[in-house]
A and B are shown apart, each in its own frame.
Chain A
């Protein structure tokens, strides 16, 4: 029954190869190695304009990703965007006077939230709000300001 054993061997190898490929794709290609969503604590921040910030955009500090945007709501009373961020539980020392800015990655890049730490001894906990925020830079507004400034100079 050598042929029989051969077939079983090759089928086993095939299945193993397929599983290895799936594993490779999961670990090396997708973002599975980073902590699964659901872990971590929530922080909130309000922005006048979130630009093209999307859910699941990264939240970074010193350029290192420490969390993701969980949800973006519109507050109809204050006309602000309310962003919820899920932060890695290991990062538990964010001072409560930290600045939350919306930056753009690269030239065409998507927008993300960059946190710049303040100096306060108090740290933010689950459910707290980051008070100091800076909205996204909108291209049309910048052009408008630029033209306005130029007009002011020459006038």
Chain B
């Protein structure tokens, strides 16, 4: 019985320690942001790794999500004779919620796990220590460009997701199910507000970008330097990112869309 309590206590202390280390790392990264401007090539490489390489999964997912929204939305709305509001429904769902959230989850799975594996592997093969020994700060050289790349790429990817999704909904709703084309767009334009909906969506995806990239980098940097350790850290990146994104989404939605 006492054993269990002791173990719980140790677990809590460990978790607190890790939380502290994670925040110290974030601080170090934020302080090093200015450095990356001297080496823009590093940032461009990371925008490629995180942004460009996630394009296909984000684009295809956005298309399918938009199409499903069109389908489901039509079934529900037509029961109330409100099929003309399909455009609003699809666009609002995407811009406010699904765009930022689903994109964040996809990026965490694709790019986040890759980041963790890359940094973790460098730690396990002593490359991080070698950089330290060559008097190069691995936080500035490796982590800061990746962090900035993730934060910048996320809202762009979320916008692409939403835009493709709206088009997907259009294709299904107007093209296949016969919703009036004019109504699809005009209702949407009347009801989706730039600041309340779109800007808030962008803010959400910026926050998600920060959080997902931070988690991925920390798990890699903090990993136990063995093959098994790296593999477990990669899994943890995806799981933690998902939980934090969904939790933050609730908080942000309440703050932004409440009255």
Contacts and interface: CB of A to CB of B under 8 A. Distances in A.
Binding partners A and B: yes
Nearest to B99: A25
Given A8-B44, A21-B156, A28 B185 contact: yes
Interface in A1-43: 7-8, 10-11, 13-15, 17-22, 24-26, 28-34
B162 A31 contact: no
A35 to B, nearest CB: 12
A108 B163 contact: no
B52 A18 contact: no
A123 B48 CA distance: 59
B82 interface: yes
Contacts of A63: none
Contacts of B163: 20-22, 24-25, 29
A28 B155 CA distance: 18
Given A25-B159, A25-B198, A14 B192 contact: no
Contact of B155 (A7, A18, A31): A18
B188 A29 contact: yes
A7 B162 contact: no
Interface in B115-155: 153, 155
Given A26-B194, A31-B190, A11 B44 contact: yes
Contacts of A31: 189-194
Contacts of A20: 163
B160 A29 contact: no
B162 A21 contact: yes
The binding surface of chain A is classed by DSSP as helix
Contact of B80 (A19, A26, A108): A108
B160 A17 contact: yes
B48 A11 contact: yes
Contacts of A28: 185, 189
B165 to A, nearest CB: 10
B82 A108 contact: yes
A152 interface: no
Interface residues of B, number: 33
Contacts of A8: 44
A90 interface: no
B46 to A, nearest CB: 9
Contact of A29 (B81, B91, B156): B91
B109 interface: no
B215 to A, nearest CB: 22
B220 interface: no
A74 to B, nearest CB: 17
A106 B82 contact: yes
A25 B156 contact: no
Nearest to A106: B82
Q: Specify which of A8, A21, A34 lies most central, judged by the most chain B CB atoms within 10 Å of its CB.
A: A21
B157 interface: yes
Contact of B189 (A22, A33, A107, A108): A33
A56 B194 CA distance: 13
A33 B47 CA distance: 31
A54 to B, nearest CB: 10
Interface in A107-139: 107-108
A90 B55 CA distance: 44
A29 B166 contact: yes
Interface of A: 7-8, 10-11, 13-15, 17-22, 24-26, 28-34, 56, 58, 65, 106-108
Counting from the closest, the 9 A-B pairs by CB-CB distance are A18-B156, A21-B163, A21-B159, A32-B194, A22-B159, A30-B194, A30-B192, A21-B160, A14-B52
Given A32-B194, A33-B189, 10 more contacts: A17-B55, A17-B156, A18-B157, A18-B160, A20-B163, A29-B198, A30-B194, A31-B190, A31-B192, A106-B82
7 contacts: A15-B47, A17-B156, A21-B163, A22-B159, A26-B194, A28-B185, A106-B82
